[in-house]
Structure 1
């Protein structure tokens, strides 16, 4: 007979103490380490293209950051996600990026992340109050989610995003 394994849920302090692992992407979901492969070159190209276009069009006082830890929920057990891109105010705290600093989070869907990006992260980001969340698919479509009192409201774009929210933008996905 085997004993039941006990899972230790990490605190934020324990999470930060782990340091960085460049071999894999590691996020923290309710105190549990979630490991996934690093992005593929095509995934990185899409994220970089969107980042460049965002940087050319964001208002003064905002910045685009790739692949940074964002504390979605600091309460025990905490959740820390690594969006492909975020937009936040430049005057924000660098020590620990909280969801309250994120204006836009962008996730480029990978073959193993569809459900996580569409369901789990969508729910987490909405609950954390991130006002804009874009889910970019391999077929060059984007589901742009805008937070309302009733939750995220979705707009789907094919090939080009033309929007006035969160600011006037034109992003080409080809």
Structure 2
């Protein structure tokens, strides 16, 4: 386990972040220069991530790719780096294999609510993604019934476009997608 005393105790810059040792046991983000640790996702959360990426890629043209848990630079000053549960970006960019993505690279960011992240996902990340210009933001709540709340950025603010259970039809980057929300966790 990483020695907590060796971690920085100051507001991080991008070079500071890049100099930190990699640690696969921790899920780290940076919020306004401050290092933040998030809980590792449980099994159903992981299953929903994987299945959501697969469902998005099945419906979207091959010019778009879904990914899960990639680093996204939202702001350099003060440094804010988040790791959304799922994103959609252009396949050309994904194929270039970047170390991190910029908010401008995303067409969609998705957060799956978990214990300890509900307020952060609904309030803090909601405003951070809007401020950074992420065109679409979805919040997926796996508590029965599985619910998807979808927002689209309009004039710098997110507007609600759907709150659904069961099957939902939406668009991502102008392309239709259909999701069976219950199938995201059901074996």
Above 0.5 in TM-score?
yes
**Hey, what does 2:166 align to over in structure 1?**
159
Structure 2 residue corresponding to 1:124, chosen from 123, 128, 131: 128
Which runs of at least 4 in structure 1 moved beyond 2 Å after TM superposition?
Answer: none
Following the alignment from structure 1 to structure 2, what is the Cα–Cα distance between the partners of residues 165 and 85? 13
Partner of residue 69, structure 1: 71
Distance verdict in 2 for CA 1:108–1:159, change over 3 Å:
same
Post-superposition offset of 1:49 = 1.4
156-165 or 130-139: bigger deviation: 156-165
Q: Check conservation: 2:131, 2:156, Cα contact below 8 A.
A: no
Residue of structure 2 equivalent to 1:145: 151
Deviations 1:136-172 (A, max 9, x none): 0023101101100151011201122212343201011
Supply the distance in 1 between the matched residues of 2:104 and 2:69 (Cα, whole angstroms).
17
Specify the alignment match of 1:3 in structure 2. Answer: none
RMSD, matched Cα: 1.6
Is the counterpart of residue 88 in structure 1 residue 96 in structure 2? no
Match of 2:25 in 1: 23
Name 2:185's counterpart in structure 1: none
Of residues 118-127 and 17-26 in structure 1, the stretch that sits farther from structure 2 once superposed is: 17-26
Residues matched between the structures, number? 168
Is 1:112 paired with 2:116? yes
Pairing 1:49–2:35 present: no
- Give the Cα–Cα distance (whole angstroms) in 2 for the partners of residues 108 and 96 of structure 1: 20
Alignment partner of 1:144: what SS? strand
Contiguous gaps of at least 5 residues in structure 2: 1-7, 183-187
In the alignment, the residues of structure 1 paired with residue 53 and residue 22 of structure 2 have an alpha-carbon distance, to the nearest angstrom, of 23
Whole-angstrom distance in 2 between the partners of 1:19 and 1:7:
15
Structure 1 length-normalised TM:
0.91
